[in-house]
Amino acid sequence: MAEARRRGPVLDRPTWIAARRQTAAVGRRGRKWIAPEGNLYATLVFAPDCSAAQAALYSFVASYSLYATLLAYVDSPATIALKWPNDVLVGGGKVAGILLESDGTAGQVTRLAVGIGVNLNHAPDPAGLEPGALPPARVAGSGDPIDPLEFLAFLAEHFAVQARFFRTHGFGPLRGAWLDRAARLGDTITARLPGEDVTGRFETVDMNGCLVLQTARGSRSIAAADVFFQERRCP
């Protein structure tokens, strides 16, 4: 992402920037994590020429593109799930995260950087996770290691297709496809906002990309939050 900020102003076409490893990796809210060689660390920089609200929806383009890419690497497609707002899960564990950064003027985004990290061959130590966070997972099983650049080639192709479809048809079809693969849809979850936790039934994602929870006080639309799942109990 730092390299994307540096190079962004002079790039004249959509460009992927990848690192074999990172020494100062950060995620949402400036959180740090360990980024060893063997996983995917990549950022797409491009000019979306759209509003800030529209640009934010590219997180759904990215997560659905990751889903489509993972189908070639995961034995059981049903274990892949999309977690609002920007994570991808396999077998209930987090394998990928997405981070958006943008620049613009007068309400229009002139540069968007879509950062994507995928635990291909290594999963970080769960000891440093905050309470309630999902455990990390990796894509590779007991077979051969996954080549990050090969994975990126497939991901870039899927992203280009999904982005073109999104620009042509709008958010509606993508939203429907995303919801079909949404983690814990219909379950009770907790959205952690600054200074407030909101718990309710995960009802949907609206046409603005906001999480909609049905709470004891009625429906609540949430634009940004960290989401935590409640432990499922066996019958």
Give the torsion sign (CA, 37, 154, 143, 178). Answer: positive
pLDDT of residue 177: 98
DSSP three-state, residue 61: helix
Strand locations in the chain, DSSP E?
A: 15-19, 40-46, 50-51, 80-83, 87-90, 93-105, 108-118, 188-193, 196-205, 211-215, 218-222, 226-229
Q: Which domains are assigned to the chain?
A: 2-180 (3.30.930.10), 188-229 (2.30.30.100)
192 vs 143, residue with greater confidence:
192
Instruction: Indicate the SS3 state at residue 58.
Output: helix
- Could you report the per-residue pLDDT of 4-26, keeping only the tens digit for each? 999 988 899 999 999 998 877 66
Radius of gyration of the chain (CA): 17
Confidence of residue 142 (pLDDT cuts 50, 70, 90): low
Hey, is 170 helix, strand or coil?
A: coil
Sign of CA dihedral 176, 101, 221, 134: positive
The residue with greater pLDDT, 40 or 32, is 40
Alpha carbon distance 116, 136 (integer Å): 15
Question: Is it the case that residue 219 has pLDDT exceeding 60?
Answer: yes
pLDDT band at 33 (very low <50, low <70, confident <90, very high): low
72 Cβ contact list (under 8 Å, min separation 6): 154
In terms of DSSP H, where are the helices of the chain?
2-7, 52-56, 58-70, 148-169, 171-180
